[in-house]
Amino acid sequence: MSLTFSLFLPTGFGGELAAYDDPAEALAAVTGLAQAAEEAGFAAVYLPDHLQTVPPSQAYLFESWSLLTLLAARTERIRLGHLVTGNGYRNPALQAKAASTVDVLSNGRLTFGIGAGWYQRDYDAFGYPYADGPERLRQLREAVQVIRSLWTNDVTTFDGTYYQLVEAVNQPRGVQQPHIPLMIAGGGEKMTLKIVAEYADACNLMTSPAEVERKLEILRKHCATVGTDFDHIRRTVTTGCLITGTDEEAQRALSPEMGLFYPGDFGSYLLYGTADTVRRRIAAYEQAGVQELVIGFHDGLDPEAIRGFAKEFMN
């Protein structure tokens, strides 16, 4: 198995752009990172989909579909996508249409990522209803059916609990065949991973190699139950990275707030440490069955972090 590396692009959600007082300069910095990743040989660039920073602030945060469209024009080779769109922010039929258009604009480089959504402050602030977890997952199950149908059928009629379409036509559907790859993020073992098995072309997890291996075995069982080929689902993991002279230095750079995204003892598995430590942790993910690591750099706005990683681990 050949492990590939992709970039998790900072777009302002974590307050990364707080130092900027000119939105054009902030945008140039973000697009420059995607271009640096392409030049360095990264496989893809993924961006989050949120509406305000965490915690809410006046710092800049760019809307994800608009930014993704710009990146399609500013890059040539690298794949593009979300980690991940929040299903509750937009009607899934509209998302399917937007994805089809971006796939054409990028000449077939889109991976469509979607999840059930989790950041309630976004929903409350912008007036979207925020259902409980099981209902959001039921909405997601219907949403991915709608999206896949609009990508593969001439006409879609759908009469669900949450979404209804009547003879909907989506042209052009995109460039990729048989359709745009659909990635679902989340590690819920009873519902989310079952939805992955039923409808996804890729999954994304954010946890330790040992937990990834365990969850992938659960996904494998779901695939067997629904009749899906497990090996056709691309296994991706999102992680953080900081390469330092000593492991102790890297550990001091970790913050408790990172536990909002990474469960458990994240200091023991994130790519934080010396080059040798990072290399061992990369190998552990590959051994667990991961095919793609999506890396968010600690120094997120520094293109040299991207280039340095590529030189050390990719070239």
**CB count, 10 Å around CB of 120?**
10
SS3 content of the chain, % helix, strand, coil (to 5): 45, 20, 35
pTM: 0.94
pLDDT per residue, tens digit, the chain (315 aa), is 589 999 999 999 999 999 999 999 999 999 999 999 999 999 999 999 999 999 999 999 999 999 999 999 999 999 999 999 999 999 999 999 999 999 999 999 999 999 999 999 999 999 999 999 999 999 999 999 999 999 999 999 999 999 999 999 999 999 999 999 999 999 999 999 999 999 999 999 999 999 999 999 999 999 999 999 999 999 999 999 999 999 999 999 999 989 989 999 999 999 999 999 999 999 999 999 999 999 999 999 999 999 999 999 997
CATH code of the domain in which 63 resides: 3.20.20.30
pLDDT score at 164: 98
Residue for token digits 């990635």? 183
Q: Which residue intervals of the chain are DSSP H helices? A: 23-40, 64-74, 92-105, 120-126, 133-152, 192-199, 209-226, 247-253, 275-287, 303-313
Q: Distances in Å between the alpha carbon of 34 and those of 67, 76, 195?
A: 11, 11, 30
Which pLDDT score, from 0 to 100, does residue 260 have?
87
Q: What are the C-alpha distances in Å from 126 to residues 65, 83, 129, 130?
A: 17, 20, 9, 11
Domain count, the chain: 1
DSSP label at residue 231: G
The token duo for 275 is 């080059």
The pLDDT, as a whole number, for residue 249 is: 96
Q: Indicate the Cα dihedral angle 145, 116, 26, 302, nearest 10°.
A: -100
List the domain range (segments joined by +) for residue 163: 4-313
Q: Provide the phi-psi class of 15: left if phi over 0, else alpha when psi is between -120 and 50, else beta.
A: left
- Predicted local confidence at residue 1, as pLDDT: 53
